[in-house]
Amino acid sequence: MSLVLWNKPLFSALSSLELRTSLTSSSRSTPFEQNSSFWSLTMDNERKTKKKKERQLPEKKTALPLEEEDIEDLFSEKEVKKIRQSLLQWYDKNQRELPWRERSESDKEEEKEKRAYGVWVSEVMLQQTRVQTVIDYYNRWMTKWPTIHHLAKASLEEVNEMWAGLGYYRRARFLLEGAKMIVAEGDGFPNTVSDLRKVPGIGNYTAGAIASIAFKEVVPVVDGNVIRVLARLKAISANPKDTSTVKNFWKLATQLVDSCRPGDFNQSLMELGAVICTPLNPNCTSCPVSDKCQAYSMSKRDNSVLVTSYPMKVLKARQRHDVSAACVVEILGGNDESERTQPDGVFILVKRRDEGLLAGLWEFPSIILDGETDITTRREAAECFLKKSFNLDPRNNCSIILREDVGEFVHIFSHIRLKVHVELLVLCIKGGIDKWVEKQDKGTLSWKCVDGGTLASMGLTSGVRKVYTMVQKFKQKRLTTNSIPERKRTNTKRLRCS
């Protein structure tokens, strides 16, 4: 008998079979036994080669789990049953009372859609925002737009005003666009993950949350809290941002989700990550699934292992540093300085582009600068912008009543560190405001003039509100200083000099 193909793994397997057979079989000879010397020699050579390679290999270091191993390392049926039971019992007793968790016992489609809308609004608001901050915003939103049909009739400006202060304003725009699309199609609120994913701004997580909580579809959710819980339960130290690792978390979450109470289970998993399995100070002794947690078990056996080391800490991208000049332009009534009819005038607001950062929101005239500059350069840039955009030229059609550098502050976005220099420019227009407005070219720039009362009540971004607050404090301080009697101011000055 001759072998045509040489298959090393096959030879190893056959050799093992031959050895086991030789110990248990009768004296009857087999082809494998007839060649036992050959097999023995082959095995000896393989063992020697293997030992030689092992001696040549450097000492192994503790490595991160392989992605393939992580993906295959699912929960056992026993673990799944225990985790489901423990988490749901804990959640039933300890869940926080939140307005979006209020439910109706009715199974009417109208009630389901109403809850789906509430879950959608809350989940979008909760992205990158703390629960305590969201509660007030959610209540005000639901009072103004209690159903998706009410929201679909709103304008973007109304929505942005309601959203002001929450940040990440694109979320608000997507909510409005999604509501308009769902109502326009007329098929009711989408009730499956596949249909929900077709709505603008709804990703896998939000779709899973709405479908499982409002419509009881047996689907998982994976957000930051869920990733942290799963990473510690399975001691997964791979990069949580890596595509293959994210898929692994979705597989684990899919395996765990309870078929009878999918929405409650998903919320229990998120709740656990929010209040018990926190990033820095997890309360492991109070955790309902600590007995199934590999990271906790490892930390008890070895003090050098920290539960908080799971998941891996990923370095954030370095923030871009930008510098801008915000010019708060206040235009007083009257034709010139001597004919002013009111102490406070109107302010120019400019609408940002419909795409990009803070899309479609109102702000004071602002210019991005090429790095840090002096006050003269900033003023020249502001004058150029005002002349080009609004035909405001102090040497031609307006006079400067007051121009002061108010101060500066740093505003932090997720990826940008913006330093803002604030200037107050008070103008009086020759011929009056009305004639100046009539002459304006209705170009691509969208802008408007508003009085102080309107400005104070508008839904402005936190950055724009900071600018306005700085200007108001400056004006109040200047007003107080100017109201001090001359003699008193002189005495104060003398006291300071002495």
Under DSSP, is residue 160 helix (H, G, I), strand (E, B) or coil?
Answer: helix
List CB contacts of 140: < 8 A, sequence separation 6 or more. Answer: 162
Q: Which of 37, 41, 43, 47 is nearest to 16 (CA)?
A: 43
Question: Are residues 439 and 430 in contact, defined by beta-carbon separation less than 8 angstroms?
Answer: no
For residue 131, give both structure tokens.
Answer: 């629960």
Question: Are residues 183 and 190 in contact, defined by beta-carbon separation less than 8 angstroms?
Answer: no
For residue 212, is pLDDT > 50? yes
> Could you give the CA distance from residue 87 to residue 264 in angstroms, rounded to a whole number?
9
For residue 105, is pLDDT > 50? yes
Higher model confidence: residue 247 or residue 444? 247
The CATH superfamily of 72-227+241-274 is Hypothetical protein; domain 2 (1.10.340.30)
Q: Distances in Å between the alpha carbon of 78 and those of 41, 220, 292, 299, 375?
A: 46, 19, 10, 23, 69
Which residue matches tokens 């389901």? 112
The residues pairing with 427 across neighbouring beta strands, listed in sequence order, are 331, 400
> Could you give the CA distance from residue 288 to residue 66 in angstroms, rounded to a whole number?
28
**Which range is most confident: 35-49, 266-280, 377-391?**
266-280
> Could you give the CA distance from residue 469 to residue 484 in angstroms, rounded to a whole number?
23
Phi, psi of 289 (to 5 degrees): -120, 25
Q: What percent of the chain has pLDDT over 90?
A: 58
Q: What is the pLDDT of residue 40?
A: 43
Q: Worst-scoring range by mean pLDDT, 113-127, 191-205, 248-262, 320-334?
A: 320-334
How many CB atoms are located within 10 Å of the residue 192 CB?
13
Same topology between domain 72-227+241-274 and domain 320-480: no
Q: Averaged over 205-229, what is the pLDDT?
A: 97
Question: Are residues 466 and 409 in contact, defined by beta-carbon separation less than 8 angstroms?
Answer: yes
For residue 494, is pLDDT > 60? no
Is 336 exposed, middle or buried, given 0-12, 13-18 or 19+ CB atoms closer than 10 A?
middle
Q: What is the pLDDT of residue 443?
A: 65
The residues pairing with 178 across neighbouring beta strands, listed in sequence order, are none
Phi, psi of 484 (to 5 degrees): -70, 130
Q: What is the pLDDT of residues 16-67, one digit of tens each?
A: 434 333 333 333 333 333 443 433 434 454 454 444 444 444 433 333 333 4
How many CB atoms are located within 10 Å of the residue 447 CB?
14
Q: What is the pLDDT of residue 17?
A: 37
For residue 110, is pLDDT > 80? yes
Topology given in CATH for the domain delimited by 320-480? Nucleoside Triphosphate Pyrophosphohydrolase (3.90.79)
Q: Averaged over 461-469, what is the pLDDT?
A: 92
> Could you give the CA distance from residue 471 to residue 460 in angstroms, rounded to a whole number?
15
Q: What is the pLDDT of residue 157?
A: 86
How many CB atoms are located within 10 Å of the residue 376 CB?
8
Q: Which of 304, 318, 419, 425 is nearest to 371 (CA)?
A: 419
Under DSSP, is residue 421 helix (H, G, I), strand (E, B) or coil?
Answer: strand
User: Known catalytic residues?
Assistant: 123
Q: What is the pLDDT of residues 411-428, one digit of tens each?
A: 988 888 999 999 999 999
Average pLDDT, rounded, for the chain? 82
Q: Averaged over 230-251, what is the pLDDT?
A: 94
Q: What is the pLDDT of residue 8?
A: 41
Question: Are residues 144 and 164 in contact, defined by beta-carbon separation less than 8 angstroms?
Answer: no
Q: Distances in Å between the alpha carbon of 491 and those of 168, 262, 478, 498?
A: 52, 75, 18, 10
For residue 461, give both structure tokens.
Answer: 């971004």
Q: Averaged over 165-190, what is the pLDDT?
A: 94
> Could you give the CA distance from residue 156 to residue 173 in angstroms, rounded to a whole number?
7
Phi, psi of 103 (to 5 degrees): -130, 155
Q: What is the pLDDT of residue 73?
A: 79
Residue ranges per structural domain of the chain:
72-227+241-274, 320-480
Q: What is the pLDDT of residues 433-452, one digit of tens each?
A: 888 888 777 666 788 999 98
Higher model confidence: residue 345 or residue 198? 198
The three-state DSSP-derived secondary structure of 200-243 is CCCCHHHHHHHHHHHHCCCCCCCCHHHHHHHHHHCCCCCCCCCH
For residue 487, is pLDDT > 50? no
Q: Worst-scoring range by mean pLDDT, 51-55, 321-325, 387-391?
A: 51-55
Q: What is the pLDDT of residue 335?
A: 57
